[in-house]
Amino acid sequence: GDVLVIATSSGSRAVFGELFATEARLRGLAGIVADGFCRDVRGLRRIGLPVFARGTTPRSGTTISRAPLGATINCGGVEVSPGDIVFGDDDGVLIATRERVAAALETAELIRRSERTILAAQARGAALHGLTNHAQHVAALDRGEASALAFRVDG
């Protein structure tokens, strides 16, 4: 479904709360993402509409200017255009074009499989350092060489 993405002028007041989110749900929106603050957190949880905001505040705000609906905006330093994929979970929000999401799916699946393999090894008592190139990485950094920490598992 459609997600409302709100760009703000970085004020310290809430750009939405329980009443606004209730209306959004009644209109069939799938969620709200705001580059600003929200309020009425208890009510927002009760509504069950996924919402993501920069933070919370009890201070209600008001609209001081309107952007055209369906326009490309900047939200949190990311350009957002109509049709972009908006995905949010406990770790945050990802916004990307359909093409970028499609291109990243294979890599994301490899990462998911590797992480599950690592978690299974840790459940059997393996140390994380033993599942990475940690020793080689630290040695390279100590020599002033470029290095990246990497997992050594078959996903």
CA pair distance 118, 129, nearest whole angstrom: 11
Burial of 20-42, coded b for 16+ CB within 10 Å and e otherwise, reads bbbebeeeebebbbbbbbbbbee
User: If DSSP codes are grouped into helix, strand and coil, which group holds residue 60?
Assistant: strand
CA pair distance 48, 37, nearest whole angstrom: 18
CA pair distance 82, 48, nearest whole angstrom: 24
pLDDT for residue 69? 84
Q: Tell me how far the alpha carbon of residue 92 is from its chain's centroid.
A: 3
pLDDT digits (tens, 9 = 90+) for 42-62: 999 999 999 999 999 999 988
pLDDT for residue 154? 62
| DSSP tag of 151 | B
User: Residue 90: CB partners within 8 Å, gap ≥ 6?
Assistant: none
Q: Locate tokens 């599942």: which residue?
A: 131
Record the tokens describing residue 125, joined without a space.
């008592």
What are the structural domain ranges in the chain? 3-96, 104-142
pLDDT for residue 64? 76
Task: Identify each DSSP E strand in the chain by its residue range.
Answer: 3-6, 14-16, 31-34, 37-38, 51-52, 55-56, 73-75, 78-80, 85-89, 92-96
Q: Which residues of the chain have pLDDT under 70?
A: 154-155
Q: Which CATH class is domain 3-96?
A: alpha beta
pLDDT for residue 146? 96
